[in-house]
Amino acid sequence: MGLLIWLVIAMVDPIPMEARIVTTGPLYVGQVIELQVQVVAGANPPELIAPKLMEASIHLVATTARPLTTSAIGNLTLTERVQYTSRYHLTPRRAGFLNLPPFRSKLADRVGGSNSLRIKVEPVPDAGRTREFLGGVGRFELESEVEPTLVRLGESFTYRLIMTGEASVGSTRDPQINAELLEERGLVLTPEPVESRDEPPTRVFRYRVRATSPGVWSMPPVRISAFDPTTNHYLTKSTSSANVRVKDIPLFQPNKWITPGPSSPKPKWHIVEIAGLIIGLATIGAVFGWVRVRLARLRTWPRTMQKRFDANFSQRDVARLFLTGLFDHLNVSARKVGPRQIRPNLSDDPPTPALTSDEVREVIESRTGDHSLAQKVADVVERCDRVLYGGHPDDQLSHQIKELLDDWSRLPIKR
């Protein structure tokens, strides 16, 4: 029901439209024919739909608007009538009668249609037509260009033939290029897809050219012809020379790029240098042997100390034996007692090198790399100090020293 109502409204109030041919005189195949389609509507332009043609090409060029009438009350505009004029270019593809269906328009619920057109299309005359004719009708301009203008041997460049004007629309054939002359100059031509634009009418013939011979070459002139309906004659134009420079690849010359340098004299060894080398090697060997002996002593010292302990030793003997052996093993010589003082009641005992438990811990950790072992040794040293200088007996001292030596003997030594 709604569709029926819409059709009734569209038939009662259609959009006014008219189509007409602007181009006068005989119309030819390949010629750009101008059409005008006029539509009368309100402030908003309607949608214009061109017919689809198999025997011609058609495209919109531009649309202009011209107000016709306006009705208003005060500052309030009630109705407005505007004439919209759309310009189309129509290019026939064959001779004969061309039936052009109506153009259609649509605006909201309103539709419209133009009148049909019947166009007589003439073939271009045979008289004066040459092989340079590509099918175009009308005036045109022609130019050529090369990009880049400098290439190396074996590289390619782009050659363009640019045709502008109405005649470019119908020029659908390929231009004639002297391929034999190009081959003599060492230029191999390969056509590429043609580029075309409707506005402004332009057609670009593209070629890829590979240079196989060095030198400065000129692309041969290309002639293109089109029929001019205003004079009823064929108009032929030729391109100017487009030059390209092909640079040869330089030959590889090893003597030029690689220059042998002066021969190096054989080294002469003097007696002093030889003696210095022998002394240096001997010094390195001695240092290495001393380090090996120190490391071996560090590994075997715990087992040696275990054999020196006797079950009948007193706590003071055990403490003195352990500290004396430890400080001797660490290569600590007797020095003045620092923060720790020997008690007066033990002045008859021989002096013992004075290292605090913290100092012992630092030395052990630096030599073994084991923080846990260093802390255990420091704890034993502190307990020995209490037995020797503090008068505090320790029944577990011997047992703890043996466990410490046993743990020490199983640990790797840091080099």
The answer to whether residues 93 and 120 touch, using CB atoms and an 8 Å cutoff, is no
The answer to whether residues 163 and 141 touch, using CB atoms and an 8 Å cutoff, is yes
Of 75, 91, 122, which marks where a domain is finished?
122
Q: What is the pLDDT of residue 378?
A: 85
308 and 331 share one domain:
yes
Closest CA to 84 of 60, 108, 100, 102: 60
Assigned domain for 259 exists: no
- Across 153-297, where does the E strand assignment appear? 156-164, 187-191, 195-197, 202-211, 215-219, 223-228, 233-238, 242-247
CATH assignment of the domain containing 223 = 2.60.40
Structure tokens at 178: 């002297």
146 and 202 share one domain:
yes
Q: How far apart are the first and last CA of the chain?
A: 104
Nearest-angstrom CA–CA distance, 168 and 161: 11
Assigned domain for 54 exists: yes
User: Over the range 213-224, which residues count as b (16 or more CB within 10 Å of their CB) and which as e?
Assistant: eeeebebbebeb
Segments in 196-242 forming alpha helices (H): none
49 and 148 share one domain:
no
205 and 318 share one domain:
no
The structural domain count of the chain equals 3
* Per-residue pLDDT reduced to its tens digit, 131-161: 999 999 999 999 999 999 999 998 999 999 9
Distances in whole angstroms, Cα of residue 399 to Cα of each of 148, 313, 322, 357, 379: 96, 12, 12, 19, 13
- Is the pLDDT at 19 greater than 60? The verdict is yes
pLDDT above 70 covers a percentage of the chain that reads 76
Give the least confident one: 1-10, 193-202, 372-381: 1-10
Q: Which domain holds residue 164?
A: 133-247
Assigned domain for 218 exists: yes
Of 93, 122, 151, which marks where a domain is finished?
122
Assigned domain for 12 exists: yes
294 and 322 share one domain:
yes
Assigned domain for 159 exists: yes
User: Over the range 124-158, which residues count as b (16 or more CB within 10 Å of their CB) and which as e?
Assistant: beeeeeeebbbbbbbbbebebebeeeebeeeeebe
303 and 390 share one domain:
yes
Of 85, 101, 122, which marks where a domain is finished?
122
Q: What is the pLDDT of residue 346?
A: 39
The C-alpha angle with vertex 412 and arms to 400 and 310, in degrees rounded to 5, equals 30
Nearest-angstrom CA–CA distance, 336 and 38: 122
- Is the pLDDT at 239 greater than 80? The verdict is yes
Between 271-308 and 315-329, two packed helices, what is the crossing angle to 10 degrees? 170
Q: If you average pLDDT over every residue of the chain, what do you get?
A: 80
Nearest-angstrom CA–CA distance, 24 and 33: 9
78 and 48 share one domain:
yes
| Sign (positive or negative) of CA dihedral 319, 325, 328, 332 | negative
Could you tell me the pLDDT band of residue 235, with boundaries at 50, 70 and 90? very high
Q: What is the pLDDT of residue 335?
A: 38
Half-sphere exposure of 355 (CA within 13 A, CB side): 26
CA 44 to chain centre: 48
Strands 27-28, 117-122: pairing is parallel
188 and 293 share one domain:
no
348 and 303 share one domain:
yes
Assigned domain for 266 exists: no
Strand partners, 64: 85
User: Over the range 248-260, which residues count as b (16 or more CB within 10 Å of their CB) and which as e?
Assistant: eeeeeeeeeeeee
Assigned domain for 77 exists: yes
Nearest-angstrom CA–CA distance, 307 and 313: 13
62 burial class (0-12, 13-18, 19+ CB within 10 angstroms)? exposed
- Is the pLDDT at 348 greater than 90? The verdict is no
Give the least confident one: 37-46, 106-115, 266-275: 266-275
75 and 146 share one domain:
no
Prior bond to 267 cis, omega within 30?
A: no
Assigned domain for 264 exists: no
Segments in 267-339 forming alpha helices (H): 271-308, 315-329
63 and 177 share one domain:
no
Give the least confident one: 250-264, 277-291, 320-334: 250-264
Element (H, E) at 97: strand 96-100
23 and 116 share one domain:
yes
Give the least confident one: 101-105, 200-204, 305-309, 354-358: 305-309
